[in-house]
Each structure stands twice: as C-alpha cells, then as structure tokens.
Amino acid sequence: MSGTSSNSLDKKGKRGSTNNTSRLAAFGGAIEKQRGNADWGRADPRWIAAVVVAASAANMEAAFALTKDGGAHGLKLFDYGSGERVQLWFNGDADLDAELEQVWQKLSQ
C-alpha cells in the first residue's frame, strides 16, 4: 500500500482522531509511577470489563484512576444523557472485585 501508514493509530479518515502516535508520544512524559499501594491490576479484569460494558450500555462513561499519591482507587461515572457524574473512591487495600461487583449491579438495574 503505497502512500498509506501501516500504523493504525495514524490512519486519517472521515471520523475520529488523527495522528494519535504523536499525541501519545507527547503525553508519555507526564506518566509517573504512583507510590501508594493502590493498583487496579489487582482487580479481576472481568469485573473491570463488566463495569465498562454496563456503563456503556447505560450511555455512561467509566473512568478508572488512582489518587495523586497512589493511595486510593478512583472510579468516575458520567451519564451522557443527564450530565450527572459521580466519583467513587476505594482504599488502596479494598476488595476491588467486591466493589466492582456492586458498581456493576447498580449499573445493570
């Protein structure tokens, strides 16, 4: 394919962003390893996926983060229909699977 990028991040089309490779490269300098004991990697990925899928089905966004010091988990839910948002916090040593199951149950009602 002459004249086209083989990198799917840089495809230019009628919709969506373009030149994401350079955007990600510029953003990479801002990423720092947190010092606290919070780590979303301890959660079962199936629960994370279940929350994302349930939120999407409800026309919502689910954003996962850590506090600045890395001591707690944050989960922001934003409802695109109503504009309502809620920020949930879980301690660094929380049972993330149990917490995410509760969020999933609420979103799946």
Q: How far is CA 83 from CA 77, 90, 104, in A?
A: 10, 23, 20
Residue 8 has a pLDDT of 54
86 DSSP β-pair partners: 77
Query: 8-12, 61-65, 80-84: which range is least confident on average?
Result: 8-12
Confidence of residue 33 (pLDDT cuts 50, 70, 90): low
Under the banding of pLDDT at 50, 70 and 90, the label for residue 36 is confident
80 CA to centre of own chain: 16
- Residue 104 pLDDT greater than 90, yes or no: yes
Average pLDDT over every residue of 70-92: 96
Q: Which residue's structure tokens are 């899928």?
A: 53
What is the mean pLDDT of the segment spanning 74-102?
97
